Amino acid sequence: MIIWLASYPKSGNTWLRAFLSTYLYGDNNKFDFSLLKKIPKFPHKKLFEGIIDIENLKKNKFEVVKYFIAAQQKLNLDNSIKLLKTHNAYVSYKNDWFSDEKNTKAYIYLVRDPRSVILSLASYQNVSVERAADLMLNEGIYGSDDKDGLMIDIRSSWRINYLSWKKEKKFKGLIVKYEDLKKNPFTNFTKILNFLKDFMNLEINEEKIKQCIELCNFQRLKNLENKLGFDEAIKSNVFFRKAELEEWKKSLDIKIKNKIESNFKNEMKELGYLD
C-alpha cells in the first residue's frame, strides 16, 4: 500500500523526501541525492514498465492517466508499505481517478503559502511571475518533472491541489505547513514520523531525527546541487533556490500579491496565511 508525499510544486516536498529517505533508508551518517530514489516520484517511467507503450504517450500524454491505478496495483503486489512523492491533485481526469482505497493507505500533504510558491515556481520553470500566477490559478493545468515531459501529472490550481487531498476521507491524512516545518523542524518531522509509525515499523529516535535534519538542511542540499548537480532540476535552472520564509513581502509585485490573495482567500485564511 502507498503512503503519498503530496504537494503542489515548490512547497518543500523534496526536503521532506530527503529527510525521510535519510531517516528510513540511510546509513553511514550521510546524505546524497541517490537516496531520493528510495522514495520515487509518481508518475515515473520505471513504474509504468510493461504497463504502457511510451510511443503511445508521444502521441497523447494524457493516456498515462488511464494507467495510474494499474501502475499502483503492480507496485502493491508485494503487499508492503511504500512512500511515493507526487504533485498530482487527488482528482479524476475523464473518470480515471488518481488512486483509490485499494492502493492508497494514507497521505502526508505539505502546503506552502502561495505567495512564496509563486516566486519559487517562476524561478524553477524560468517564467515570469505573471505566468507563474496564471499557472497557479489554472484548474486545468498539468505538469511534468521528466526531461521529455511524457510522464504528466494533473496538478490543477494551488487551491484545488490542496483541497483535493484535504477533503479525501477514504484514508488517513496529515497536513503539514512548510512554514511550520521550517520554523520548527524537529517538532514537525517528529510529528510526521509518528504519523508514519501507525503504518510502518520504525523507531522514533530523537538524536537520529536531529542528525537527519542537519544532514538534510537547505544549505547542504544547495551545496550538493552546486557541486554535483541535481537530475530533478529543469535544464540548468537551480532547484534549491532560497527557501526563505515570506520572501514575497519584499519581492512580490503588489498586483500579483492581491490577485493571489483574492483567489485563494478562503484557503489562506484557513491555513493562517491571511488574517
Q: What angle do CA 52, 58, 62 make, to 5 degrees?
A: 70
Q: Which domains does the chain have, with CATH numbers?
A: 2-271 (3.40.50.300)
Q: How confident is the model at residue 243 (pLDDT cuts 50, 70, 90)?
A: low
pLDDT of residue 47: 92
Q: Which helix (H) or strand (E) holds 176?
A: strand 172-177
Task: Report the interhelical angle of 206-215 vs 185-197 (nearest 10°).
Answer: 120
pLDDT of residue 53: 85
- Of the two residues 58 and 224, the one the predictor is more confident about is 58
Q: Kindly give, in sequence order, each residue whose CB lies less than 8 Å from that of residue 106, ignoring residues fewer than 6 positions away.
A: 3, 4, 171, 172, 173, 174, 195, 198, 199
pLDDT of residue 251: 86
Q: Kindly give, in sequence order, each residue whose CB lies less than 8 Å from that of residue 44, ignoring residues fewer than 6 positions away.
A: 146, 151
pLDDT of residue 14: 86
Q: Which of 120-134, 157-171, 184-198, 241-255 has the lowest mean pLDDT?
A: 241-255
pLDDT of residue 227: 52
Average pLDDT of the chain?
Answer: 89
Q: Is the pLDDT of residue 57 over 90?
A: no
Q: Is the pLDDT of residue 148 over 90?
A: no
Span 127-154, mean pLDDT?
A: 89
In the numeric block, the cell 502561495 is attached to 114
pLDDT of residue 56: 83
Q: For residues 73 and 165, is the Cβ–Cβ distance under 8 A?
A: no
Q: Which of 20-24, 88-92, 216-220 has the lowest mean pLDDT?
A: 216-220
Q: Kindly give, in sequence order, each residue whose CB lies less than 8 Å from that of residue 115, ignoring residues fewer than 6 positions away.
A: 248, 252, 257, 260, 261, 273
pLDDT of residue 11: 94
Which residue in 34, 44, 261 sits closest to 152, CA to CA? 44
Q: Which helix (H) or strand (E) holds 122?
A: helix 114-125
Q: How confident is the model at residue 255 (pLDDT cuts 50, 70, 90)?
A: very high
Q: How confident is the model at residue 268 (pLDDT cuts 50, 70, 90)?
A: very high
Of all residues in the chain, what percent carry a pLDDT higher than 70?
Answer: 91
pLDDT of residue 146: 74
Span 74-89, mean pLDDT?
A: 95
